[in-house]
Amino acid sequence: IKKIAVLTSGGDAPGMNPCIRAVVRTGLHLGYEVAGIMHGYQGMIDNNIVDMNSHSVSNILQLGGTILKTARCADFRNVEGRKLAFENLKKNNIDALVAIGGDGTFTGLERLSSEYDLQVIGVPGTIDNDLYGSDYTLGFDTATNTVIEAIDKIRDTAESHARLFFVEVMGRDAGCIALRAGIAAGAEAIMLPERDTSIEELIATLNDGVAKNKNSAIVIVSEGDKSGGAFNVAKRVKEVFNFYDTKVTILGHLQRGGSPSSFDRILGCRMGFAAVKALQAGESRKTVGLRGNKIVLTDIEEALKGHEFKLEEDLLEMSTILA
Ligand code: ATP
């Protein structure tokens, strides 16, 4: 290979910038040219591709979001769109690609590389931590820290006013953020997509808190919880349980932003470095991942097919005991 391109796609996640920086600088160090593709697969189709040098990635390690921007690109789902995209890669003499994103991004990468001669490596970047092949995805740690900080603040006001707060956090299919943030912030209850908690059970937990003279309660509701979101849960609880003044907070997109944590910075560096080293070794159609503090590669098809349950048993068990 002579020239590597890097892009970010799908939802942005803190840690993407450290990863871009690592891809660019490792690539240059190993003697390759490096290009950045703007706005994910859309930039590939629009030929929005810029050459990168070491200075292009100066001072971005600490920035949230992604300097390459990101997008959801419908045209890339079609054969014609990918043809156009590949022609633009050829025009730019690009023969290898690192794509940072989630499941959809990996699917696009799998399609493109099965149709054309191109070396590709995927890097898991999503705050949800819901990808197979890596214990952690880029952005998850920062997002969890952001949620914990927000809940700590909510606790201050909840305690002062004797309030019950329902806090909705991101995670459509995975309760990873909810579970960790709930344990770290001492939430009274955590509603997860992976675990059914009935409204009756939730009320019993809240009544336990009242019996222990708790002055406030915080219930974390994962976006994908089957009860239908924080407003819905709050409404149903309020019909029967009225001990506290009840409030709902949807944390929303603030969970995506912010300076990456030390963990996400190092993970971004490791994964970007490993992705380029993998390309150098002739690897393709693989995703990079962290397994037990070791960087590993997984076949992209296996990564797309595989599913793993990422909520640790001990965390699940303690979540109902420690609060
Ligand atoms: P997140 O988990 O943060 O949502 P993601 O990578 O899963 O990230 P998507 O929007 O699902 O986000 O996918 C990113 C892009 O990947 C899509 O906008 C599209 O361009 C491409 N993509 C997704 N699915 C396919 C597919 N089946 N075929 C080709 N390209 C796809």
pLDDT tens for each residue of 269-300:
999 999 999 999 999 999 999 999 999 999 99
ipTM score above 0.90: yes
CA of 30 to the centre of ligand 1 (A): 30
pLDDT in tens, 265-275: 999 999 999 99
- Name the residue with the closest Cα to ligand 1, atom 20: 73
The model carries a pTM of: 0.96
Task: Give yes or no for a contact between 23 and 98, defined as CB atoms under 8 angstroms apart.
Answer: yes
Q: 65-100 pLDDT, tens per residue?
A: 999 999 999 999 999 999 999 999 999 999 999 999
Determine if residue 214 is labeled as part of a ligand binding site: yes
Confidence at 130, pLDDT banded by 50, 70, 90: very high
Amino acid at 253: H
Query: At 186, is the secondary structure helix, strand, or coil?
Result: coil
Pocket of ligand 1 (CB under 6 A): 9-11, 41, 72-73, 76-77, 101-105, 107-108, 111, 126
pLDDT of residue 323: 82
Q: How many angstroms separate the alpha carbon of residue 75 from the centre of ligand 1?
A: 11
pLDDT at res. 19: 98
Pick from 32, 91, 20: which is nearest to 56 by CA? 20
Query: Ligand 1 centre and the CA of 108: distance in Å?
Result: 6
Confidence at residue 307, expressed as pLDDT on a 0 to 100 scale? 84
Mutate to test the pocket of ligand 1, among 107, 140, 170 (most ligand atoms within 8 A of CB): 107
Question: Residue 308's pLDDT is what?
Answer: 85
Question: What's the CA-to-centroid distance between 28 and ligand 1, angstroms?
Answer: 28
Name the residues annotated as catalytic: 128
Q: Which atom of ligand 1 is nearest to the CA of 112?
A: 29
**163-169 β-sheet, strand order:** 189-191, 217-222, 163-169, 245-250
For the segment 233-249, what is each residue's pLDDT rounded down to a tens digit? 999 999 999 899 999 99
Please identify which residue in the block is written with the tokens 């397994």. 291
